[in-house]
Amino acid sequence: MRVGDVRTDRQASAALQVFARRVGLRIENGRVRRSSSRFCLGVEHGDYNGTDLFGVGTDRFIWLAYRPNGTARIRLFSGNFPRDGIIEIRGAEVPPPKTVRDAWARFPYGVAWVLRREGIPVARGFDGVLLGNIPGGGMSRSASLTLNLLLTVLEVNGVPPPDPMRIVDMAQAVENDYIGSPCGNLDQIMILFAKAGMGTYYSPARRSVRHIPIGAGAPAFRLVSLDTGTERPGLETSTYRIRRAECEELVSLAAPEFGIRCLADVRSPELYRAILARFGESHPAHCRRLKYIYEAQRRFTRMVRAWRAGDLATVGAVMRADGHGLRDDYEISGRELETMCDLARTVPGVLGERMLGGGDKGAAGALVLAAAVPRLRRAVERAYPLCHPAYAGRFAVHELNIVDGLTVGPLRA
């Protein structure tokens, strides 16, 4: 079985043990920590703009099987990157920040580095083997990996679990300060707090989280990820970095006159219109970014209410409108992502669709009536390879369930 085809915990455990034996790591009678992917239900690109956030954990995972090895060395092997061999870390001796580029080792290095900076001792080592089936770009593979490693290192070292928001901050710091990715905190929050059958509602004003049961009474539905087969480079080299900078620039231009601290502060139509009147001509692109955030924020409350009420038609309509805003105003989508959306939109039973996550490449997503999933799959399988032959063998349609973000338990032989 290919690594990416692993679906169940049982398959993952078996594959992890095969890898461990092959490379000589000792994980027998150890534990497995499983971390999910996430699907942002709104506001996409709202985290670094200060909006409320809503999302769920989804069942594409990273599994880490591990066992303390009685030394001070962490020894890790990833079944997804076998050529990288075993990664070794002693204490927090790691390369300086932002120097390791394309190797997955930058994640465990970053975890060790952030923990040392936080004054948390990393003295006890372990052997660990990893395996993941989260597509790259759009579903938070990097945050899932970071959280998984971080929680495992803390547990092996007997550190009492810190406040969850501190874990979010440390995981974000691994990406911001060690790896150099300008990501926000959406992914970490949506994975760390994810609960089966629930949406996670994050309010940045209070840094608080609450869970909202979603889809009650609704007809059977699926969230579907439409993986374009493209690989998105890190956010630091994507349009993402430019969009963040534009949003921050507009805030600093508008702050003296209008008193805003982030684009999410632009809530009233009067303030919105005043800012457009002031900067529309001099900074048209910046104002389009604001337009998306302003409109998506206005749709957000309706969307959360509709999720709670099981009103899928409204949820889908909001998802579609957000997708158009991300494509036309925020201009953060990509050709292959939009092909997936255009195809999905033609299929009866698809209620909404849009690009997911950081942008440019990766995966789009859709809200689909369960009965219509096979139809969507057929439509994508027929037309997508004709539109993008270069990705003919690499795209995929993943039906997703809403699951817990982090679980841990014994590794079964």
Q: Are 376 and 388 in contact, with CB atoms under 8 Å apart? A: no
C-alpha to C-alpha distance for 372 and 72, rounded to whole angstroms: 52
Residue 358 binding ligand GLA, by CB under 6 A: yes
Nearest distance in Å: CB 384, ligand GLA = 23
Reduced 3-state DSSP string for 68-109? ECCCCEEEEEECCCHHHCCEEEECCECCCCCCCCCCCCHHHH
Residue 363 binding ligand GLA, by CB under 6 A: no
The pairing of strands 126-132 and 73-78 is parallel
Residue 336 binding ligand GLA, by CB under 6 A: no
Residue 353 binding ligand GLA, by CB under 6 A: no
The pairing of strands 396-400 and 406-410 is unpaired
Residue 304 binding ligand GLA, by CB under 6 A: no
Among 97, 184, 199, 365, binds ligand GLA (CB under 6 A): 184
Show contacts with ligand GLA in window 122-141 (CB under 6 A). Answer: 140
- Please give the sequence-ordered ranges of beta strands (E in DSSP) within 194-249, or none if there are none: 198-203, 208-213, 221-227
Pick 67 or 232: Cβ nearer ligand GLA: 232
Q: Which helix (H) or strand (E) holds 12?
A: helix 9-23
Per-residue contact string for residues 36-65; x = within reach of ligand GLA by CB under 6 A: ----x---xx-xx-----------------
Residue 227 binding ligand GLA, by CB under 6 A: no
Nearest distance in Å: CB 235, ligand GLA = 6
Show contacts with ligand GLA in window 187-206 (CB under 6 A). Answer: 187
Residue 325 binding ligand GLA, by CB under 6 A: no
Among 171, 164, 124, 125, smallest CA distance to 148 is for: 171
Query: Could you tell me the two tokens for 211?
Result: 């869970």
Pick 279 or 330: Cβ nearer ligand GLA: 330
Residue 251 binding ligand GLA, by CB under 6 A: no
Nearest distance in Å: CB 216, ligand GLA = 26
Helices vs strands, H then E, count in the chain: 11, 12
Nearest distance in Å: CB 299, ligand GLA = 15
Residue 51 CB neighbour total at 10 angstroms: 26
Nearest distance in Å: CB 184, ligand GLA = 3
Show contacts with ligand GLA in window 154-183 (CB under 6 A). Answer: 183
The pairing of strands 53-68 and 73-78 is unpaired
Instruction: Tell me which residues touch ligand GLA (CB under 6 A).
Output: 40, 44-45, 47-48, 140, 183-184, 186-187, 357-358
